[in-house]
Structure 1
Amino acid sequence: MNLQIVPASAGLKWARQGMRTFWRQPLAMSGLFFIFMITVSLVSVVPFIGGALALVVLPALTLGMMAATQVASDGKFPMPSLLFVAFKAGPYRKNMLQLGGLYALIFLLVMGISTVVDGGTFAKVYFGGAPMTPEVVTAESFQTALWVSMLFYMPLSMMFWHAPALVHWYGMPAVKSLFFSFMACWRNLKAFGVYVVAWAAIFLASGVLALLITSLLGNPQLMMATFMPMALMVAAMFFSSMLFSVRDCFATDVLDEAAPEPLN
């Protein structure tokens, strides 16, 4: 396995590839992302442990979206079962569950750090335990907790960005995959910076477009009805683009449906 360095322009290419692949199978990719969201929502309502359990399954479901993107990029129709490919019996399933456990542990640690700043208000709002009112959002302590959480979430995101693919397709142990994922993001920081800016612009443009549509229709109440489907579609495109960063940052010869034996 070779870690490859890519130019900054690769970030924009990944975004374009994600959008192009999405439009090859728009119904399938939209449906898969909807199932993704429904699965996380259903898991999160499990009493006592739902919030943590939803975090545990996120890396596996992200891998499922990558696998679906791989199929869609070949012009084929990705079946819903692909979303749960990481949970199927195989040598990589244990490592994937370990990866999910590490994600939940570190994410909850980040939320714990935010509670030191605002007494837990931000964490309660994030997990749905408190309403997001204008008074809460505009509070200085809440905003500080938000920025602190974002600061600590950045290295967490870098650690887990490639990790599901490294576990599933490269047979890499969970902890080792976090190291290589972080290094791949760090060594290609300019490309990922362009990638983040590109998707921020795309999400912003979708919001402006939704506002324009509702203005033309002359009914402001249609804003959310227009924006939410558009936002979900753009989010599905975003997830469709993740695979291409893996392909460029690592050797692609093992990116097939069969996972190798895990590395020791």
Structure 2
Amino acid sequence: MKLNIVPARTGIQWVKLGIQTFFKQPLALAGLFFMFMAVMSLATLLPFIGGALALALLPAASLGLMAATLEATKGKFPMPSILVSAFRAGQQRAQAMMVLGALYAAGFLLVMGVSALFDGGQFARLYLVGGQLTRELVMAPDFQLAMWVAMGLYLPLSLLFWHAPALVHWHGVPPLKSLFFSFVACLRNFRAFTLYGLTWAAVFVLSLTVITSMAALSGSAELASLLMMPVALVLAAMFFTSTYFTFRDSFVADDPTPPGESA
């Protein structure tokens, strides 16, 4: 398994492939994403350990969505059981995925803990537990500083785990090595990932503009609020669909078997 350096324009191609693949199996991929969100939400309801458990499940759940994308590229209908692909690839890889989940949860909670040093934990509490978001709270300098610190620290954490679940699942890479390889791959393909992020941002902004324009033309402010949530969820499902292609193109397997064929 070797790192593959791609041109910057590949970032746009990843977005296009994600959208195109989503429309090959829209009901299945949207349904799996909603199941993914539901599982995360239900996990947070558990007392004491709910938040940490949801975070620990995220790498395995995101791998499940990537596996579903792979099935869709083959013209197959991904079944709900594919979401637990990470735990069906043998005991060794399942344990490695659990280690990866524990590391992600620890890393995320550490990020929130550092942000709490700047505002007494208001941002972390709102993000992890929920609560009322007021204008006064959002405009508070300490809250804004904590938010930017959290965002700045989350970026390297995201790069560490971007490819890690797929590397563990499809290539049998140990958890710590998978984090290193993921981080290096994201950095070496920085231009493609930057264009990838900017393209997705443009898609979200364009969708928001279309919705607000439709609401303005119809004279109904409720139309915007009615459409905003489902459109945002579908776009998020498309985004997660596209992540498989970022992994596929960032690495070249030593053997000719495409990633996921042996999963």
TM-score tier after normalising by the smaller chain length: over 0.9
Asked if the contact 1:114/1:146 (under 8 Å) is kept, the reply is yes
Task: Report the more deviating stretch, 95-104 or 218-227.
Answer: 218-227
Task: Report the more deviating stretch, 39-48 or 245-254.
Answer: 245-254
Task: Report the more deviating stretch, 243-252 or 186-195.
Answer: 243-252
Alignment of 1:15-54 (within 5 A): 15-54=15-54
TM-score by length of 2: 0.95
RMSD across aligned C-alpha pairs, in angstroms? 1.2
Alignment of 1:151-166 (within 5 A): 151-166=152-167
Asked if the contact 2:93/2:168 (under 8 Å) is kept, the reply is yes
Alignment coverage as a number of residue pairs: 259
- The answer for the alignment partner of 1:2 in structure 2 is 2
Alignment of 1:66-81 (within 5 A): 66-81=66-81
Distance 1:20 1:33 in 2: 16
Cα deviation, 1:85-106, whole Å, max 9, x if unaligned, reads 1123613100000000000000
Letter in 1 for 2:60: A
1:126 equivalenced with 2:130 (yes/no): no
Cα deviation, 1:94-145, whole Å, max 9, x if unaligned, reads 0000000000000000000000011101001101343111111111111111
Counterpart selection for 2:260 from 256, 259, 262: 256
Unaligned runs of 5+ residues in structure 2 are none
1:13 equivalenced with 2:13 (yes/no): yes
Cα deviation, 1:31-55, whole Å, max 9, x if unaligned, reads 0100010000001111001000000
Task: Report the more deviating stretch, 209-218 or 116-125.
Answer: 209-218
Asked if the contact 1:121/1:130 (under 8 Å) is kept, the reply is no
Distance 1:225 1:29 in 2: 22
Report the CA distance between 1:148 and its aligned residue. 0.6
Asked if the contact 1:206/1:227 (under 8 Å) is kept, the reply is no
Asked if the contact 2:122/2:143 (under 8 Å) is kept, the reply is yes
Task: Report the more deviating stretch, 86-95 or 111-120.
Answer: 86-95
**CA 257–132 in structure 1, closer or farther in 2 if over 3 Å, else same:** farther
- The answer for the alignment partner of 1:233 in structure 2 is 234
Distance 2:173 2:258 in 1: 12
Report the CA distance between 1:205 and its aligned residue. 1.2
- The answer for the alignment partner of 2:111 in structure 1 is 110
Asked if the contact 2:89/2:169 (under 8 Å) is kept, the reply is no
Asked if the contact 1:170/1:254 (under 8 Å) is kept, the reply is no
Report the CA distance between 1:221 and its aligned residue. 1.9
Report the CA distance between 1:215 and its aligned residue. 2.1
1:147 equivalenced with 2:151 (yes/no): no
Letter in 1 for 2:175: A
Report the CA distance between 1:257 and its aligned residue. 4.3
Distance 2:18 2:29 in 1: 11
- The answer for the alignment partner of 2:220 in structure 1 is 219
Asked if the contact 2:24/2:72 (under 8 Å) is kept, the reply is yes
- The answer for the alignment partner of 2:101 in structure 1 is 100
1:179 equivalenced with 2:180 (yes/no): yes
Distance 1:94 1:113 in 2: 29
The alignment partner of 1:48 has SS state of coil
Cα deviation, 1:176-205, whole Å, max 9, x if unaligned, reads 100000000011111100001011111111
Distance 2:126 2:200 in 1: 25
TM-score by length of 1: 0.95
- The answer for the alignment partner of 2:60 in structure 1 is 60
The alignment partner of 2:252 has SS state of coil
Distance 1:24 1:56 in 2: 30
